[in-house]
Amino acid sequence: MKRLISYDLPANAWIAALVAAIVLILAVLPLTTPSIRSVNMAAKIIVFIPLAASFILLIGYTGIVSFAHTVFFGIGGYGLALGLLNSDASVSGMLTGLMLGVALSAVFGLIIALLSLRIRAIYFAMVTLVAALVTSQLASRLTWLTGGQDGVSFDIPDALSPGVRYWTVPFSDVPVTGKVLLYYALFAIAALSFLAMLRIVNSPFGRVLQAIRENEFRASALGYPTTWYKAVSSILAAVFATIAGGLYAAWLGYVGPGSTLSLNVLTDILLIIVIGGSGSLYGAILGAVVIIVSENYLQSLIELLIPVSIAKSPAGTLLSGDRWLLWLGVLYVVAIYLVPEGIVGMTRSGGRPGDRRAIPGPNHSR
């Protein structure tokens, strides 16, 4: 087990147990409940875990603050959609479209890395934010390619469609359809992506990224080509975000500016890493669960806890379930003040990446 997760267990036993429980619940959920809402929520969590983890790879391990991450997410979604539309919904078309998206994202990730060498951190962050906004506007305007504001709807391969029924789970009477198989395809690809990133950050390469984050001048003085390391880190983060975008589009059967390129997606990513912690990839798992479950059930929880008579009174307007987004914002602010390092950061003192263990030499190998 330790080898599978690159010997990078959460420092706290409770966090490790919580992560294991989350993975188990996500693994069995489609077979135990007929609730479409719950399965859709679980699928979104699965997609956003590698998406947020790829952002942590960029900002938490390399120290590059880029707000253009939604661009890669969108490229993955549109790439998969266009591949399916041009191949009569075949698996080969799906893979071809996604791979072309990965290639395009790798180029754009390299450009971002090169920009980060010439522009100071705060200005670089603003430039990438503008790039994300411009890309969203382009997707809205290029109707012939992207469908404009309406986006693109597409069919997925028949074997993964909800209309195909394979068997029924004996103990829960839940039908196993093509949509359930698609869910497990998402689960497997997201898990492999997360494990790959975990391997990357725990390799000598990952150690150098942390050294660059802490003191780029010192890392350069030790003989590391910091430009190369930052470029590779940006490309890797872009690739994993693109894969996540393709997974999300495949699940929805749709891609549009609002689903992949909007500021809401960027906000979700930032909320996830603030709540979970940017110092460890495990923060992506915990943060994704907290934020996405809150988005789906916070309104219902408020309506359950606050009596209707209070919610409808002038004094109770802010306690109405319709104000759930306000309370999600309050959760965000409170988390920043009380848990600035996130859930994992609270329990990971002395662990990666905040530790100060020796940086391997250029010729070091594990």
Confidence bin at 362 (pLDDT 50/70/90): very low
What is the pLDDT at residue 107? Answer: 93
Kindly report which listed range (155-159, 227-231, 354-358) carries the lowest average pLDDT score: 354-358
At residue 168, φ and ψ (nearest 5 deg) are -120, 135
3-class secondary-structure state, position 168? strand
| CA–CA gap between residue 179 and residue 37 (Å, rounded) | 13
Half-sphere exposure of 314 (CA within 13 A, CB side): 0
Tens of pLDDT along 138-182? 999 988 888 888 899 999 988 898 888 888 888 878 889 999 999
Mean pLDDT of 271-277: 89
For the chain, the structural domain boundaries read: 28-262
pLDDT for 83 beyond 90: yes
Confidence bin at 1 (pLDDT 50/70/90): low
3-class secondary-structure state, position 265? helix
| CA–CA gap between residue 2 and residue 320 (Å, rounded) | 46
Half-sphere exposure of 161 (CA within 13 A, CB side): 11
Tens of pLDDT along 188-218? 999 999 999 999 998 899 999 989 888 888 8
What is the pLDDT at residue 76? Answer: 95
Tens of pLDDT along 33-79? 888 999 999 999 999 999 999 999 998 888 888 888 999 999 999 99
Q: 135-155 burial, b if ≥16 CB within 10 A, otherwise e? A: bbeebbeeeeebbeeebbebe
Closest to 234 measured CA to CA, from 47, 51, 66, 52? 66
